[in-house]
Every structure is written in C-alpha cells, then in structure tokens.
Amino acid sequence: MLLVSKSAVSDVSSAREALSQKEGDATQEKSLEEVFEATENNYSLMKQGQTSLGYNMSYSYVADQRLDVEILNGQVRAFDVNPSSVHNLSNNFNFDYGYLNNLTLGFTLPLVVKYDSTETQSASGLGDVSINARWQPYAYVPGELSKTVTGSFKTKTGSSPFHTVGQKTLPTGSGYYSLTGGLSLSKVVDPVMLFGSGSISYAIPEKDVNQPRSGALLMEVKPGVSASFSGGYAYSLSYDVSMSMSFQASYTDKSTYVFRNSSGTFSEAQSSASMTGLFNISLGVRVSPKTITNIGVGFGMTDDAPDIILSLSLPIDVDGLKAKSSSS
C-alpha cells in the first residue's frame, strides 16, 4: 500500500497552469508542483503521446492474534490463540501513456514478497496486475477545483489464496477480478495543495474454486463491495523539500463463501465486514535537478489496518520513452 493514496491527487499537470512564476524559478509553488508530479504521477494527466515510468516500494507489517475456536452442541471444545506476524514487500512499476490530453492510460506491474515469521512461511512472485485510466471531463480553471474521474481493472495474475491447499503457502494476489471507479479532487492554495478522493470497488465472484476446507469443498467466493476515501494536503517547505499528510479510510462489506459438503449439499458462510484507517506522512526530497524521491511512513488506526507502512517512490527516466518535442 502506498503512503499517499494514489487516488488522492488528481490533475497535477493542470495545477501547473495556475502557477504564475516564470519557468525555472526556484519557488515554493514550482517545488510543490514538481513534488506532486513525482509523488502522485499516476494522477497527473499527461499531454497526448507522452509516456512515463515510475517505481514505488511499499513495506507493511501486520501483527495480530488469531483465535481458533471449535464449538459442538453449543459447548466450546477447543480454544487456542495463535499469534500472527506477516511482512509484506511490494515493488510496483507504473507505466502511463497520454492517449489524449485529457485521458491517460496505464498499467501497474507489482512484484510481491511475503513472509510469515510465526508460521515460517514465505512467498514471492507476480502480484495482481492492474489496468488504469484517468479522465479529466472539464478543462482546469485556475483557482477552482481540479476534477479527475478514475477507473481501474485489477486482474488475478498473482497466486490465489483460494487455490492453496490448507493455506500452506502465502498468496501474492487476491484471487479474483475487480473493477474500481472513483473521483479525485485537488486545489492549489499557495503554497499548499489540498486533495481528496473517493472510490467504490466491485469484485467479480470467483467460481469453481474447489479448495478443501475442513472436510468440505469451497466452491465459490463472493467478495463484498468496498468503498474508500482519502484526503490531505501537501506543503512546499522549500525548493528542495516538501511534506504531505493524508488520511485513508476504507470499508469492505461481508464476503460470502459457498461450500459443498461431503453429503453433496451446499451451505454458505459469511465473513464480517471490515473497516481500515491509516494516517500517512510523506517527505519529498530533491536528489537531482530533475528527480524527487519521496519517503513515507504510515500508521494503522484500526484493528484491520497494517500496524506500520514504509514507502519509497521515484520516477524512472528512460530516454526511449520520452515524447519528442514538437519543435524538434
């Protein structure tokens, strides 16, 4: 997970038009603009034909207690408390292409590493690749809100948690396809940029799972609909340093699991709904005239959220991907 939500900042390229300083001036406004372009490049629309490549690393740590309870005829027959400590490292490569001046297409390629220090289990491999689109329906007007409609389709290229037997391996993916749509807003209030976003995700039910579970077969998984919100601000401390703060919250409805029992009958079970909240702080530092590196830390504020999140992001300059200037 990223420190500042990728759905948090919208049209940074449009915010550029609101900055009145001359090109090349080392001002707080220009620094803020460049920091946002480096930090949230996924939500800065590009000119037609332009391309960009970025890298983001995110580490999260989740520690909790798992309760195993066996109940027979209303009586508790077995009760056990199992600690769990899971380390997650995600390396995301983001590629964006300006299909139109107000439409940017792209995809995210995640490489995931997981380790459960309690069960001594680990996994590494490709995560769930996602295809993204960002569309600005209206031209940006200086001093007004910048609005960007976002959408994504997440595949199930990572290893599925529903296709492992007895949970002996850790999954690198969710195990199902999902669709997400949302709206991002931002406004430049010199020398601060305010941003916020909201989105809704629908997961396509996964059928024909056929996973053994306690003498039954898990046949179908119907993940619950989820909604998320994020908001915050970024402040340019100087030409070389910037800081941002944000809050993320998400709610996921109950998921339904369909089982086929040994007798051939079917039964259903539901998981409880979950709520997560995160507080994030990010520091942007200019390491070269054209490169800004962002380092972030996040803290979970609910039981379902990761305990701590660390992130690092930076652009990758590939000369072959850069669009040629119209003057050349």
CATH code of the domain covering residue 231: 2.40.128
pLDDT in tens, 128-165: 999 999 999 887 777 788 899 999 999 999 998 887 55
pLDDT of res. 178: 96
Q: Is the pLDDT of residue 198 over 90?
A: yes
- Name the residue range of residue 286's domain: 12-165+174-203+226-247+278-321
90 located within any domain: yes
pLDDT of res. 9: 36
pLDDT of res. 197: 94
Residue 179 contacts residue 223 (beta carbons within 8 Å)? no
pLDDT of res. 177: 96
CA dist 194 → 181, 232, 300, 309 (Å): 21, 6, 22, 22
3-state secondary structure at position 279: strand
Residue corresponding to tokens 């500042």:
4
Amino acid at 120: T
Residue 115 contacts residue 126 (beta carbons within 8 Å)? no
37 located within any domain: yes
3-state secondary structure at position 9: coil
Of residues 62 and 126, more confidently modeled: 126
Q: Supply φ then ψ for residue 205, to 5 degrees.
A: -55, 140
* Low-confidence winner among 141-145, 201-205, 234-238 (lowest mean pLDDT): 141-145
The pTM score is 0.77
* Low-confidence winner among 31-35, 150-154, 219-223, 284-288 (lowest mean pLDDT): 31-35
262 located within any domain: no
pLDDT of res. 78: 45
pLDDT of res. 319: 52
The count of structural domains within the chain is 1
pLDDT of res. 247: 95
272 located within any domain: no
Residue 60 contacts residue 1 (beta carbons within 8 Å)? yes
pLDDT of res. 218: 85
97 located within any domain: yes
261 located within any domain: no
Residue 155 contacts residue 128 (beta carbons within 8 Å)? yes
pLDDT in tens, 86-119: 899 999 999 999 999 899 999 999 999 999 877 7
pLDDT of res. 116: 86
263 located within any domain: no
Q: Is the pLDDT of residue 203 over 50?
A: yes
pLDDT of res. 168: 65
197 located within any domain: yes
* Low-confidence winner among 11-15, 124-128, 290-294 (lowest mean pLDDT): 11-15
